[in-house]
Structures are given as structure tokens and as C-alpha cells.
Amino acid sequence: MQSTQPVFIYASELEAYHYPSSCPFKTERATKTRGILQSMGSAFFREEKPRPATDKELKLFHTDAYLKMLQRISGGDLRADDLFCGVGTDDCPVFPDLYSYSVLAAGGSIRAAELLLAGDTRRCFNPSGGYHHASADSAGGFCYINDVVLACKKLREAGNRTFCLDLDAHHGNGTQAAFYDDPSVFTVSFHESGKTLFPWGGSEEEIGDAAGRGYNVNVPLPAGTDDDAFARTFSAVVPPLLDACRPDFIVLEIGMDILAVDPLTHLSMTNNAIADVMPLLRDRSLPMLVLGGGGYNPEATARGWALAWQVLCGAETESDLTIGMGGVFLGNAEWSGGLRDMRSYARGEEKRSIDEQLRATVDSLREKVFPIHGIAA
């Protein structure tokens, strides 16, 4: 039935927009992901086109002055004061039609939320979403419009509780700030520690404020974290929080900059890390909005997204799970040997240090956050 068929948000119009060639953020990752899925059989999902977010929707989070500034610079009018809003930098460069791209990508996430609210699907993936660094009045980390916040607000407007889970290697600081005192959106971020990676925050001590205290959780991952350490920590933190939160929807960001091959980060995971924990979310049968996010090795990012989406949709075959040799790229988006990477693990003293740091983080959350929600330590 169409109402249960997963939805992939995509429009060829998105292919027309590109960050400067020198920028590591590549918008064509969505097209590559689509190509891989099509080459492996796409009967398990249907496509829906995004629509541009409206001014009213954008102003659910962003200020009018900021949006007008983005429109102006998108037309080529960059002023010195704009640097104070984070634009015109290496992280947030100015390029033609910047505003049109950002609004269409954000509209894709809002459209996904609408489909979920209408009951037209239970799974919706916008690979062109996940811009979690943008704040209400400034840009950051390749992000201009925070579609994560806008989608969560769309769900909240309908009276729903949302569990916003961010697995990108970079801390979702813009999303955290938007809901730091709001218990209706439970934000959880797994990311490389701010000691070694932008945006240099997201410690386990940041647990929310006022009515939102205990509804913001950070799990900083030490540099070198591998699949095994990630899975063990995820299992210790996420299931009990989901049980306590009892959300109506999950919003999930699956940035593939967690991969060992990513040029901008320092983690040591393979795409198995995300794929292996997806059943813990999938099997709860909650409506889920999935977003892309970071990932600066385009081929590896597209493969990781395609794999995670297959697992979430229950479409990964038994042969995909048992080949175990790692996917081999043949060209034209085709892969041999399945989509899963060869597994690798940290060893020796590095492994012991990573495990100790993550145990301390989990212990801290069990002490400071779990009791707020009645979770036994």
C-alpha cells in the first residue's frame, strides 16, 4: 500500500545548485545516493519532490533580517557586516542562488514532515537535509537554513513529541540551541568531541535548561572511535531514553562524516556503525524523518546513506549481510559485494582509552539525565 511505502525526497532541480568547487560540501551526494538505490532496485520506496519552504515556515525559527540578508547575498551583494552572520567565510561561502538552494532543501524536510503527519508514509528520507549548525540569525558549518529545527517545529505545531537524534560527526549546535529549554523536542547528539572538532562544543554537561533540563543529551566521541565502541554506547543511551520519552516521531540525522575515510573528521568508523544500530530505531515502528547532513567523501557518503536507508526500510538482503568483503565501486553508481564496508577496529592502548572515555560519558548521563526521566541507573 502506498501509505506504508517509504518516501525518498528528491528533485532534479537540486542538481543545479553547487557550493564553490573549492568547498568540501558537495550537493550532488543526494543524486549519487539515488543512483545507488536505483541500481540495486528501488521498488521499496517512492519519490516525492520537495517544495520551497515558505516565508512563514522559515520564520518559525529564523529572523526576518537574517532571511533578507541571505536573499541579498544570494544575488551577489555581500557586505562587510555580513561576516558577523557567518556568511562569506570558508565554512559558509557565498554562491549564486544560495538562498534558492537552501530554501528548497529545507522545504524537502518540511514536505517530509507533512507526509508523515498525513500518514502517507512511515519513513521519509531527505538526503539534501540536515543543516544543523544554522542558528536563528547566523550561518555556520556549510549551513544557512536549519531544516532540522523547521521540521521538528512542524511536527510540534501538530501537538507531537519528537525525538531528534543526530549522528553526524559534528555537534548539532544550532538544533541544540533551538530546543535547549523545550521538553517537547528531545535532542540527542552523538558526535566527535568538541575537543578535536568544530563547533568545539557538545559536552555531556550540556543537558538542557529550565523546562528542557534533561531533554538535551550529548555523547562526545573521542577521536578514533570505532564501530564497536559506537554501537555499545548507542545501545546504552538511546533505547532507555526512547522508552522514557515515548515520542510520536523520530527525526534522525545520519551524517556520514563519521567514516574513517572522511577528510574533515577523526573518527574510525565504517558504514556498518550506523547500519548496525538502525534496527534499534526501525523496530519501534515510529514514524521517522531521516536527514542527510555531513559527509565529505561523496562516494562513501552516498554508499553509507543508501545502506542506512535500506536497513531502515527493511530492504537489505541476506546476501548483503553475509558477503562481508566490502562494497567495490564499479561505476555508474553500481556496487559489487554489497554496500557494507570492510569492518575495522581500534586496538591496544587507543582502544582502552576510547572505551574508558565513553564509559565515563555514559556514567555521567546515567547520573545526571536518567533520573530526570525515571530511568534506573
Residues tagged active-site:
133
Closest CA to 100 of 27, 175, 24: 27
- DSSP for 104-120 reads HHHHHHHHHHHHHHTTS
Q: Is 132 within 8 Å of 253 (Cβ atoms)?
A: yes
Alpha carbon distance 304, 311 (integer Å): 11
Alpha helices in the chain (DSSP H): 29-39, 55-58, 64-74, 98-117, 147-157, 173-178, 227-245, 272-282, 298-312, 318-323, 348-368
Cβ atoms 104, 27 nearer than 8 A: no
Residue 269 and residue 377: Cα distance in Å, rounded?
Answer: 28
Helix-strand-coil split of the chain, %, nearest 5: 40, 15, 45
139: left (phi over 0), alpha (psi -120 to 50) or beta: beta
